[in-house]
Amino acid sequence: GYRGRGSPEMHREVDGVVWGDRLQIEFGPSVKHTVFQSSYSREVFVAGGFRGDSTVIPNGVDDTMFNRQASAGWFGLRQEPRSYWDGSSPLRVVISTWSNNYNKGFHDYLKIDRLLAGRDDVEVWLVGRVPPDAAFQHVRIFPPRSPRRLAALLKRAHVILQLSEHDTCSNALLEGLNCGLPAIYLDSGSHKELAEPYGVEYQGDWWAAIAAVKDKYNVFVERLASNPYRISVVGPQYRAVLERAVG
């Protein structure tokens, strides 16, 4: 999945195949079984020449942290169900990104930033890194933080916004989903494959996407309770694949 990340050398195309992917495909004869993070990822590799036994297992996040419980009480020692959007207060949308690569959606995030001027019904937060030349005026920026502190911040939001390009299985998206956040996602890479039951596709109209996610907010929140992107669910799937491969 090097098309949208890595050094220029790794994401350049050679004979129609991204070079970083080509290097992985060349390991094929030495690999007994391959696990792909998404059907999108497998399709990219098959198109690039991959052959061999494989299984698709989406990532699983640490659900001891990324969950629907929030700290409460003295020193935050008590856990209780997190709160959700009440239908009348400002809708709080969060972007989470470890990378400052423009492919992580920053062209769109900067456009959305301008649309927020003069509006108090929607807030947008961004936690992570931003490109050095990206000047946000209305999006609130939080610096990168540890997983536990990131989870706590996500649980203060209502919606996860994920507009990155070509991601094979975005952990940032899955962490948000597990914290009970319906998604506004770009149909690029595996986003739709992962998030379609839990959110709305972003098609270039910011306010239309906001209206759509508000309209089905409670439906998405209810569905998210049983999403499969948790390590407690994914771990046994990896173990089963390893046992079959070794056996």
For 120-172, write each residue's pLDDT tens digit.
999 999 999 999 999 999 999 999 999 999 999 999 999 999 999 999 999 99
pLDDT at 4: 67
Q: Cβ–Cβ contacts within 10 Å for residue 77, how many?
A: 8
Q: Cβ–Cβ contacts within 10 Å for residue 25, how many?
A: 19
Strand order in 91-97's β-sheet? 140-142, 122-128, 91-97, 159-162, 183-185, 199-201
Task: Give Rg (Cα) of the chain.
Answer: 19
CB-count exposure of residue 226 (10 Å: 0-12, 13-18, 19+) = exposed
User: CB of 141 within 8 A of CB of 130?
Assistant: yes
pLDDT at 236: 97
d(CA 142, CA 124): 11
DSSP H/E element including 14: strand 13-14
Angle subtended by helix axes 106-115 and 206-215, to nearest 10: 80
The closest alpha carbon to 41, from 61, 62, 20, belongs to 20
Tell me how far the alpha carbon of residue 38 is from its chain's centroid. Answer: 13
User: CB of 169 within 8 A of CB of 194?
Assistant: yes
Which residue(s) pair with 123 in the sheet?
92
Q: What is the pTM of this model?
A: 0.93
Q: How far is CA 160 from CA 3, 77, 132, 157, in A?
A: 23, 26, 23, 8
DSSP H/E element including 147: helix 147-154
Instruction: Report, as ranges of residue numbers, the positions in the chain whose pLDDT lies below 70.
Output: 4, 75
Q: Which two tokens stand for residue 4?
A: 């949208």
Q: Which two tokens stand for residue 112?
A: 């959305």
